[in-house]
Amino acid sequence: MRKKFLSLSTVGVPLDRVNVDTDAIIPARYLKTIKRTGLGEGLFFAWRYDTDGKERPDFPLNRPSFRGGEVLVAGENFGCGSSREHAVWALMDFGFRAVIAPSFSDIFHNNCLKNGMLPVTLPAAEVRSLIDALLAAPGAKVQVDLVEQTVTGPNGDVHAFGVASFAKACLLEGLDEIALTLADAGEIDRYERERKKATPWLFLDLAG
């Protein structure tokens, strides 16, 4: 059972950059773990800290008014690059529960949904206005309502977003997707029996 996604009313954290890649979200040296926890420490490491390990005061995550925010608002193509799910684990470990952006990389988007984190896609102009509002009033709140599929900005502006119905159900109920698929195990068995006849070379055992 994964964490259920509940509606949020939280400080919105603006990250006014495009193409935020997963190497920036969590550098590779933090991937040397066999656990899913504790990755928040490495989140945006090179952007949060200078080369002496001191916090960069101007980076949004370091500004006192944005601390504790659970919604990140960023530019297009968020989460591009590596498939590392550690990027989602790091964001969640740090405290984020949703990311709002004009677009996400496909793999990162999937990884969010598998972990109970909500990726919200809004038109670029709406994301721009949210980022501007959050920069103008640091610490202002953003509401994310998954049931109604709306984001409410600091100025009371309401933005509707789309979400696939199955993904929505999984998020709201914290469903175990593997258990659901295993309920179809009979179908998978049937598929394998048929394909073994059609393409037997794909059923040779690689371990010999």
By CB under 8 A, name the binding residues for other proteins: 16-19, 21, 23-24, 27-29, 31-36, 45-46, 51, 75-77, 80-85, 88, 103-107, 110-111, 114-115, 164-166, 176-178, 181-182, 184-185, 187-188, 191-192, 195, 198-208
Q: Is 106 exposed, middle or buried (0-12, 13-18, 19+ CB in 10 A)?
A: exposed
Least Cβ distance, residue 9 to other proteins (angstroms): 27
Least Cβ distance, residue 118 to other proteins (angstroms): 15
Looking at beta carbons only, is 64 or 207 nearer to other proteins? 207
Least Cβ distance, residue 17 to other proteins (angstroms): 7
Looking at beta carbons only, is 7 or 172 nearer to other proteins? 172
Looking at beta carbons only, is 10 or 111 nearer to other proteins? 111
| DSSP-assigned beta bridge partners for residue 8 | 144
Edge-to-edge strand list for the sheet holding 118-121:
118-121, 98-101, 71-74, 8-15, 141-145, 150-152, 158-160
Q: 205: part of which helix (H) or strand (E)?
A: none
Looking at beta carbons only, is 84 or 159 nearer to other proteins? 84
Looking at beta carbons only, is 57 or 201 nearer to other proteins? 201
Least Cβ distance, residue 35 to other proteins (angstroms): 7
Per-residue exposure over 63-89, b if at least 16 CB sit within 10 Å of its own CB, e if not: beebeebbbbbbbbbbbbbbebbbbbb
Separation between Cα atoms, residue 100 and residue 74, nearest integer Å = 6
Least Cβ distance, residue 155 to other proteins (angstroms): 21
